[in-house]
Structure 1
C-alpha cells in the first residue's frame, strides 16, 4: 500500500458521492496501513490484495451510503479468518475511521458513515468475542448520539474527548483470548 499522504483539505463534503467515497476509503486505509497497531494485521491479511480490498471497500461503502447495491459479500465471513484481532483493534479501527469521516464530511453526511460503522463493529465484536462480550459504553453512547442526530432529536454528535491519534476511549469487558 502506498503510504504517501495527499495534502489535507479543509473543505468537507456536504454529500457522499462515488468519487468522495473512493477518496475516503483510500485515505482511511492509508492511515490503517501506517498505523503501528493495525498496519501489521492488515498487511498480513491483505498481502498482495490491497487494490482488490480498496475496490471492495469502495463498493461496500457506496452500497451502504449511496444505495448502489454493488457490494456482494458477507462481512462476517470476510473477517472470520483473521485470528489475531482483539478488542483494542476494534477501538483503533473505529477511532481512525470516525476521525477520517469527520475530517472529510459535514456532520449530516458523516452520520451516514458513522452509524453503520458502529453497528458493523458491534456485530463483528459479538461474533468474534461471543455474546457475553460487553460492547464498550462509549461506543454504545456514540451510536445512540448518532441515531439522535440522524432522527433530528439532537444537535451534532459530541465525540468522546481523546488526545490526537489515541484509540477510541473504551474499557473492554470480556474474556481475554487465552481464556476462550
Structure 2
C-alpha cells in the first residue's frame, strides 16, 4: 500500500459516505505501512484486506452517519489476535486520531474520535483485564471530546502539541521507533 500524506486532503465540514470510505482506505494504508501495526494486520487480514475495508467503512458509517448497517461484534472480531499489546492500542489511536483530525473540521472529527476512544477502552479492558489502567492521556482526551460534544466547551480543546508531533500525545509505552 502507498503512504498518503495527511496534508494532501482538504478538511471536511461533515462526514458523508464518500469521505468516510476515503478515510478508512487512507487510514488502513497507513496501518499497513506502519512498522508496529502493519505486521499484525497483515497476519490477521491475509487475503481479506478488501473485505476488511468494506466492513470498516460500514462500521464507521454506522457509528458516525447513523446508517445502522454494521452487523458484528467488535470484541469477538479482535479476540483471535493474540499478540496485541498496550503499545498497539496507543499506536492505532495515534494514527487514527491524527488522520481524522487532518481530514475533518473539529466538530466533525469529534464524531469519530469519541467512539474510537470508547471502543479502544472497551477492547483494552477486555484484553488486559478490568484492573488494567487506561492511560491518563487517553482518559483526558476522551473527557475533552465529551465536553466538546455536550457543549461544555465553546470550541474543541484538543491537547496542545508542537508542529508535526503526532496526535494525540504519546499514550503509553514506547513508540514504534523506539526499541
- Asked if TM exceeds 0.5, the reply is yes
* 2:159 aligned with 1:159: yes
How far does the alpha carbon of each residue in 1:9-61 deviate from its partner, in whole angstroms, 9 at most, with x for none? 35210010000000000010010000000000000000000000000000000
Structure 1 segments of 4+ aligned residues over 6 angstroms from their partners: none
User: Is 1:108 aligned with 2:102?
Assistant: no
Give 5+ residue unaligned stretches, structure 2.
Answer: 174-179
8 Å contact kept, 2:97–2:168: no
> How many residue pairs end up in the alignment?
171
Unaligned runs of 5+ in 1: 173-180
Aligned to 1:26: 25
- Tell me the residue number matched to 1:169: 170
For residues 166 and 84 of structure 1, what CA distance do their matches in structure 2 show? 24
Is 2:70 the partner of 1:71?
A: yes
TM-score, normalised with respect to structure 1 = 0.89
What is the CA–CA distance in structure 2 between the aligned matches of 1:132 and 1:7, rounded to whole Å? 36
Kindly provide the CA deviation profile for residues 107-151 of structure 1, in whole angstroms up to 9, marking residues without a partner as x: 000000000000000000000000010000000000000000111
Asked if the contact 1:92–1:167 (Cα under 8 Å) also holds between the matched residues in 2, the reply is no
1:135 to 1:143, Cα distance in 2 relative to 1, 3 A: same
CA distance in 2 between counterparts of 1:41 and 1:171 reads 19
Are 2:12 and 2:104, in contact at CA under 8 Å, matched by a contact in 1? yes
TM-score, normalised by the number of residues in structure 2: 0.89
